[in-house]
Structure 1
Amino acid sequence: MTDETDEPDDVLERDEMLALLEDGIEEAHRKVKSGRVYDAENEKVRIKWIRTLGYVAGQYRQLIKDRDLEEIEERLEDLEQQRGDQP
């Protein structure tokens, strides 16, 4: 846990990572969209940006999925505790 918030460090790290990935996705998308092709070398660079965009988007999706699963697990635990407390 951190001193400043009640959130665990891994949640803050994930949020920071998501923010970085969002920035990377926006930058890669900008490069893909606005890149001009004057020669074959520029096209190779553009293709690398497209691949980077795909990879970063996949990492972003996985982090979101992990976060959602953790939230579901917490909700399930809460429900199980509530159910156990009732006669």
Structure 2
Amino acid sequence: MANIKSAKKRVLTSAKRADRNQAIKSAVKTEIKKVRSAIDAGNKEDAAKALICATSAIDKAESKGVFKKNTASRKVSRLAKAVAKM
């Protein structure tokens, strides 16, 4: 642990931010899994609904700074392409 007060605060805030980012990433992965499982099951309606939720989660993660803009766009694009291909 650091000795300087500002360094101690940075350690605490960066740990808090890392936890928050991890939770957001986990939520996005869960939404993506829902889309993938609906695609594997062949249920187009559920896949379309799950795609909307996943897109929203990915966009929200992008706005929070968890994903970069191009990464978020790539994830959304690949999911949308997979659903459209059904």
TM-score scaled by length of structure 1 = 0.47
If you compute each CA radius of gyration, which structure gives the higher value, 1 or 2?
1
TM-score scaled by length of structure 2 = 0.48
